[in-house]
A and B are shown apart, each in its own frame.
Chain A
Amino acid sequence: GEDVEQSLFLSVREGDSSVINCTYTDSSSTYLYWYKQEPGAGLQLLTYIFSNMDMKQDQRLTVLLNKKDKHLSLRIADTQTGDSAIYFCAEFTGTASKLTFGTGTRLQVTL
């Protein structure tokens, strides 16, 4: 099946690290993505990871992939108020040849 699950809400204090989690069920996923959506805007691609990788780091963003557990996480270091948004994970499965999106996690950054 193709179900991508995320927790609905995460609140962190400015300056702390945020960890947004995602689980998926399709073991044939080849690429996994993180998108950010600010209020009233489209989705912005943040990063993606190939399924044969365990980790990818890009400035304040760190993506961890546990393929055995089908678990993906996005860590945001030194979280800022501008990071407040909804974060979507998505998986690309070659069998279906399409992206399947999670339900999104709303990140709230407090002062």
Chain B
Amino acid sequence: SQTIHQWPATLVQPVGSPLSLECTVEGTSNPNLYWYRQAAGRGLQLLFYSVGIGQISSEVPQNLSASRPQDRQFILSSKKLLLSDSGFYLCAWSDRDSFTDTQYFGPGTRLTVL
């Protein structure tokens, strides 16, 4: 069966510090991968998605970036965090060969920027 991992689970960082959040998927190959941010426990904002290694699409311009160094690894980064980057970051995957885009979510990373 497929599983998706995210770490760290929680993170407290000062403004201006760098960021690296990691997401890995097990039990599937060639997944589509997604990064979302959820502010204040409500709606989801799609940040990035990837259909393959090195292929990243950005939905929202901001000081975050994403990379996919391996097929089942998706990394969210920032060189300098802003207060507004605080939120709950969710990684998700979907089966590229599926007719639907059913997405399966990881447990999330709670980021607090102080």
Known pairs A43-B105, A104-B42; A31 contacts B90 (CB<8 A): no
Whether A45 pairs with B44 at a CB distance below 8 angstroms is no
Contacts of B31 on A, CB cut-off 8 Å?
A: none
- With A and B bound together, what is the CA distance between A59 and B93 in angstroms? 26
A19 to chain B, nearest CB (A): 20
Interface size class of B (residues with CB under 8 A): 10 to 19
Chain A residues within 8 Å of chain B by Cβ, number? 22
Distance in Å from the Cβ of A62 to the closest Cβ of chain B? Answer: 19
> Assuming the A-B contacts A41-B107, A42-B90, are A98 and B101 also in contact, with contact meaning beta carbons closer than 8 angstroms in the complex?
yes
B100 touches A44 (CB 8 A): no
Bound Cα distance from A41 to B107, whole angstroms: 5
| CB neighbours of B106 from chain A (8 A) | 42
Taking CB atoms and an 8 Å cut-off, the chain A residues in 14-43 that contact chain B are 30-31, 33, 35, 39-43
Quick check: A30 and B41 within 8 Å, CB to CB? Answer: no
- Contact residues of B between 18 and 53, Cβ < 8 Å to A: 41-44, 46, 49
- Report the Cα distance A98→B59, complex, angstroms: 11
Residues 79 to 111 of chain A near chain B (Cβ within 8 Å): 86, 88, 92, 97-99, 101-104
Q: Does A42 contact B43, Cβ atoms closer than 8 Å?
A: no
Chain B residue with Cβ nearest A35: B105
Contact A30 B90, beta carbon cutoff 8 Å: no
Complex CA–CA separation, A31 to B44 (angstroms): 18
Tell me whether A92 and B43 are in contact (CB under 8 A): no
Q: Return the contact of B49 from the options A40, A42, A98 (Cβ within 8 A).
A: A98
Q: What is the CA–CA distance of A42 and B101 in the complex, to the nearest angstrom?
A: 17
Most buried by B among A39, A86, A88, A98: A98
A–B Cβ pairs within 8 angstroms, 10 of them: A31-B100, A40-B108, A42-B6, A42-B90, A42-B105, A43-B44, A45-B102, A48-B100, A86-B42, A99-B103
List 7 additional A-B contacts (Cβ < 8 Å) besides A43-B44, A103-B42: A42-B108, A43-B105, A44-B105, A45-B102, A97-B101, A98-B49, A99-B103
